[in-house]
């Protein structure tokens, strides 16, 4: 299984509502579907680092790329819910930021969940019922990511065990080393 990729962006592709990139990693071009809001961030960056969810099926394999590990982990929890596939999960993550999505599920905020394309009231209710007690461990990770994004001008201590992950996520989002 592929869990993480770092390489040069060589192409951007669109297929109906799906958007992705081709990433050159050691001479191999990986097609990776990304959340559409990443396109503006990735299009100006040559070297891209993504956390990957790899799906193998009878008819082919698909790679889904995420800027942060908590986002990828939330994606995995979303697709574990009966009736929620990868495209629905991508739609949710496109519409709502990770920390807000976790809060919406925990608070049973059906209105926020139904903003995403393809998510109806029943699916939103199913998400809240099946995931509300499974996202407690993700709250602190999402809050860490949010606090780093909000404090762009403040100095952030990067001496934690996850500092490399955090640095790579910020680079993927387009931050320069001096900003990190």
Contact between 87 and 118 (Cβ < 8 Å) = yes
Q: Which helix (H) or strand (E) holds 21?
A: strand 18-25
pLDDT in tens, 81-138: 998 999 999 999 999 889 999 999 999 999 999 999 889 999 999 999 999 788 877 7
Contact between 169 and 69 (Cβ < 8 Å) = yes
pTM comes to: 0.73
Given a cut of 50, whether residue 157 has pLDDT beyond it is: no
Higher pLDDT, 113 or 176: 113
E-assigned strand segments in 58-153: 60-66
Residues 72, 100, 167: CA angle, nearest 5 degrees: 45
CA atoms within 13 A on the CB side of 31: 9
pLDDT in tens, 4-52: 999 999 999 999 889 999 999 999 999 999 999 888 888 788 899 999 9
């Amino acid at each position: 299984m592929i869990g993480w990729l770092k390489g040069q962006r060589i192409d951007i592709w669109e297929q109906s509502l799906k958007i992705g990139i081709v990433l050159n990693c050691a001479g191999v071009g990986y097609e990776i579907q990304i959340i559409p809001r990443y396109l503006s961030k990735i299009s100006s960056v040559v070297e891209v680092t993504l956390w990957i969810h790899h799906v193998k099926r009878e008819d082919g394999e698909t790679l889904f790329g995420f800027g942060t590990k908590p986002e990828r982990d939330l994606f995995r929890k979303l697709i574990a819910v009966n009736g929620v596939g990868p495209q629905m999960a991508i739609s949710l993550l496109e519409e709502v930021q990770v920390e807000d999505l976790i809060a919406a599920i925990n608070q049973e905020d059906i209105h926020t969940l139904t903003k995403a394309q393809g998510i109806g009231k029943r699916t939103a209710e199913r998400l809240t019922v099946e995931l509300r007690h499974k996202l407690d461990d993700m709250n602190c990770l999402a809050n860490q990511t949010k606090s780093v994004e909000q404090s762009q001008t403040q100095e952030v201590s990067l001496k934690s065990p996850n500092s490399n992950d955090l640095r790579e996520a910020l680079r993927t989002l387009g931050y320069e080393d001096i900003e990190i």
